[in-house]
Amino acid sequence: MSAQEKIKDTVTSNQVVLYMKGTKEMPQCGFSSRVAGILNFMDVNYTDVNVLADDEIRQGIKDYADWPTIPQLYVNGEFVGGCDIITEMTLSGELDTMFANEGVTFDKEKADQIRAANQ
User: Is residue 119 a part of any domain in this protein?
Assistant: no
Distance in angstroms between the alpha carbons of the first and the last residue of the chain: 46
What are the 10-residue block averages of pLDDT along the chain, 119 residues in total? 94 98 96 97 98 95 95 98 97 97 97 94
**Which residue segment(s) compose the domain that 56 sits in?**
3-114
Q: What is the model's pLDDT at position 119?
A: 86
Helices 30-41 and 83-92 pack at an angle, to 10 degrees, of 30
Q: What is the model's pLDDT at position 34?
A: 97
This prediction's pTM? 0.96
- Parallel, antiparallel, or unpaired: how do β-strands 47-50 and 16-20 relate? parallel
* Structural contact between residues 34 and 98, judged by C-beta atoms closer than 8 angstroms: no
What are residue 63's phi and psi, to 5 degrees?
-70, -40
The 3 state secondary structure assigned to 94-106 is HHHHHHHHHCCCC
- When divided into structural domains, the chain yields a total of 1
Q: What is the CATH number of the domain that holds 48?
A: 3.40.30.10
Q: What is the model's pLDDT at position 36?
A: 98
